[in-house]
Structure 1
Amino acid sequence: MSSGVEADIALDAAVVLTLGMNRILGRGAGLAGRGAEALAALAADRAEARAAALAEVETRERALREVVERNARIAALAETRAKLGADVPLPAPLTPGEQAPEELTAWCAATDAALDEAERSLSEHLAAEVTARILAVPAEGLTTDTGHGGPPPPRVQHDVHATLERIMTRLLPDAAEAERRAVADAARLLADVGTAEEAEGVLQEVRLRISAANRRTEELRAEERRRAAERDAAEQAEAERRYVLDSITAAFEDLGYDVQSGFETLTADGGTLVLSKGAWPDHSVKMRVDDAAHVRASMVRERPAESEDDRRLDVEREREWCASFEAARERLAGAGIRSDVGWRLEPGVRELPVAAEARQTRGRAERREQRRERER
């Protein structure tokens, strides 16, 4: 290769899963446990051992994600409990550590049952709170279904009240305030009904509004899950980009290169690195990693070549860089980063480009010289 090379890169499944676990556990980007074993088995071409190690990594990563989901649900119900002022017990969130996947799965199952019970209790609390405000039905508010006036039989009132309380418990506890007001407004109409048939009509409207409120609440829950998934995907992508950049940095530093951040900082799409050596006063390599999936590297000169000796030195530096790149690829493969070269040039095929900074400096110097010539 000469002034440029491009390669597609891909992370091994063991790396991807381990990075996800590291994020959940709050650890660094290094591989540990079965993730490292899976890579070692891959390097040793031990397919059965790799499959077993990778399966354990997948099981643990899946269990950790299940814990994260339950912790999020605990937090959401705790927020709802605080808004309602309800005294409803909730399970404590779990800080995952070295628990076995089976332990994590068992905790999730027990927590699901506790959370379902807590949600029911919160719904009942909300129902009691709302019905207490709206069931101030005057004694003459309902009549018998014969249409005659007068106080309704106690049984009619009791059935209406019991039905309303039962219906209200269907309202999800985290329904928005506007949705709860719409349900309460419908239920308040019971105070003005004159017959049992009218009461049933009002109750049906309450049912419809609760159904609409629950549907909207479920939509909001799904939207929050979608946003959480997007945040998780973005964090995972960032962890993968950082892992690739750190691994590339380590590989070339081990080969004797000085690796620095480029003129572009690390962004959501990738990052730029500059590789140089003390014995390379006139050469460097600019490398860009795009989205942890594509790498482009270009050898450049720090100043224009001025003689045939400079051009012969360019070819020597290119050959040295070519050998280093292949050595780095082997090191990266050991770290679970596969690279497939899609384009390259052989040393000496074309003249090395001059670094943009050098061109700008040379241009400024030439302009100063031209101004001095004009002023003479």
Structure 2
Amino acid sequence: MSSGVEADIALDAAVVLSLGMNRVLGRGAGLAGRGAEALAALAEGRAEARAAALAEVETQERALREAVERNARIAALAGTRDRLGAAAELPAPLELDEERPAADLTAWCAATDRALDEAERELSGHVAAEVTAQIFAASAERLEADLGRPEHAAEQPDPAAPADSGDVRRTLGRVLARLLPDAGPAERAAVAEAARLLASAATAAEAEGVLQEVRLRIQDANRRTRELREAQRRRAAEADAAAQAAAERRYVLDSITAAFEDLGYEVEGGFETLTASGGTMVLTRGAWPDHSVRMRVDEAQVRASMTRERPAESEDDRRVDAEREAEWCAAFEAARARLAEAGIRSDVGWRLDPGVRELPVTAESRHTRGRAERRERRRSHDQ
């Protein structure tokens, strides 16, 4: 390996889980406690201890994510409650802490689910009562007159007989209570539009027909609401995956930077050039006036190339090139060992031995040299 090398890289599971936990907790890229223990056990060859630490950090990370989901549901229902002006009681969001046992988090999630289900039913009942009251209050007298059952009505229901306003109102309330409380304005409006037709239903059969239409519109509204919830969950999952990928790229770049700086290199770029696909950095040394290493870190690969700042012009230059390549080869292997300790595995897929080919000249150097030559020509012309 000399002027060129390519290596596939992969993060250890302990690093991936720790980075996810850190994001949930709002922390930096340092490894969580159990993640660090798993890496230490890996380095020491203690397979059983590593497996135990890894299982614990995986359980903790999953429990934290579930708690985050409940906190988000609490916030969503709180928004719905405020919009409706209801008084449903909601549990307080949980303050997340790495030290909180996973079993405690799981128990809190189970209790919170029950409380949130009850709050959702209460909010749905609030919506049902509100819509029902609006409909029947608008034409209370007319409904009493048109839908009131005569005292001499038969005990067996007759589809042609007038509907009982009390029964209709109670049935409508039960039907409307099935509407999800976070249904959108358009969905709620469609349901209310159908429910208002009860005011003009003169018979029990007509009232039942209207109620059936209300049921169908509620089914449609709930379907749309669940689709919206799923779309929101999908966007949240995509955003979470993107944030996790960015955290992993930052961790890799930070670890590579630290490894080579510890070996005496100056590292430029890195975070400054970080993109969705990776980052680029330039490695130099004080004793290397004419040489540098360009390194590209992609999602799953590192590519490095040693370059010259100016073309080699003598055998002495080529001898120095071979020396620099040998230094870089040793440094790269030392850096790989340091990265392995940080949970970054690297498998070299392609490399060159020192002196196999002439080192390329950096594009920046050629560009700078061309501008200098043009300035020199202009000065000669002016003279």
- TM-score range relative to shorter protein: over 0.9
Which AA in structure 2 matches 1:140?
A
Match of 2:295 in 1: 287
SS in 2 for 1:106: helix
Q: 1:263 to 1:183 in 2, by over 3 A?
A: closer
For 1:4 and 1:134, the matched residues in 2 are separated by 77
Answer yes or no: is 1:343 the counterpart of 2:350: yes
More deviation, 243-252/356-365:
356-365
Which AA in structure 2 matches 1:2?
S
Match of 1:79 in 2: 79
Q: How many residue pairs align between the two structures?
A: 370
CA contact 1:171–1:213 (8 Å) conserved in 2: yes
Q: Within 5 A, what are the aligned runs for 1:148-167? A: 152=162, 156-167=164-175
Once the two structures are TM-superposed, the CA of residue 269 in structure 1 deviates from its matched residue by 1.1
Which AA in structure 1 matches 2:60?
R
CA contact 2:8–2:347 (8 Å) conserved in 1: yes
- Indicate the percent of aligned positions where both proteins have the same amino acid: 76
For 1:316 and 1:174, the matched residues in 2 are separated by 69
For 2:192 and 2:272, the matched residues in 1 are separated by 57
Q: 1:58 to 1:262 in 2, by over 3 A?
A: closer
Which residue, out of 211, 214, 222, partners 1:214? 222
CA contact 1:143–1:196 (8 Å) conserved in 2: no
Match of 1:352 in 2: 359
Match of 1:227 in 2: 235
Q: TM-score, normalised by structure 1?
A: 0.95
SS in 2 for 1:10: strand
Which residue, out of 320, 333, 339, partners 1:332? 339
Once the two structures are TM-superposed, the CA of residue 369 in structure 1 deviates from its matched residue by 4.2
For 1:117 and 1:13, the matched residues in 2 are separated by 38
For 2:341 and 2:247, the matched residues in 1 are separated by 18
Match of 1:303 in 2: 310
SS in 2 for 1:135: helix
Match of 1:177 in 2: 185
Answer yes or no: is 1:312 the counterpart of 2:319: yes
Once the two structures are TM-superposed, the CA of residue 45 in structure 1 deviates from its matched residue by 1.5
CA RMSD of aligned residues (A): 1.6
For 1:87 and 1:256, the matched residues in 2 are separated by 64
Deviations 1:9-39 (A, max 9, x none): 0000000000000111112211132111111
Once the two structures are TM-superposed, the CA of residue 108 in structure 1 deviates from its matched residue by 0.6
Which AA in structure 1 matches 2:107?
A
Give 5+ residue unaligned stretches, structure 2.
150-157
CA contact 2:21–2:32 (8 Å) conserved in 1: no
Answer yes or no: is 1:242 the counterpart of 2:253: no
CA contact 1:134–1:188 (8 Å) conserved in 2: yes
For 1:296 and 1:147, the matched residues in 2 are separated by 83
For 2:159 and 2:314, the matched residues in 1 are separated by 113
Which AA in structure 2 matches 1:299?
M
CA contact 1:285–1:298 (8 Å) conserved in 2: yes
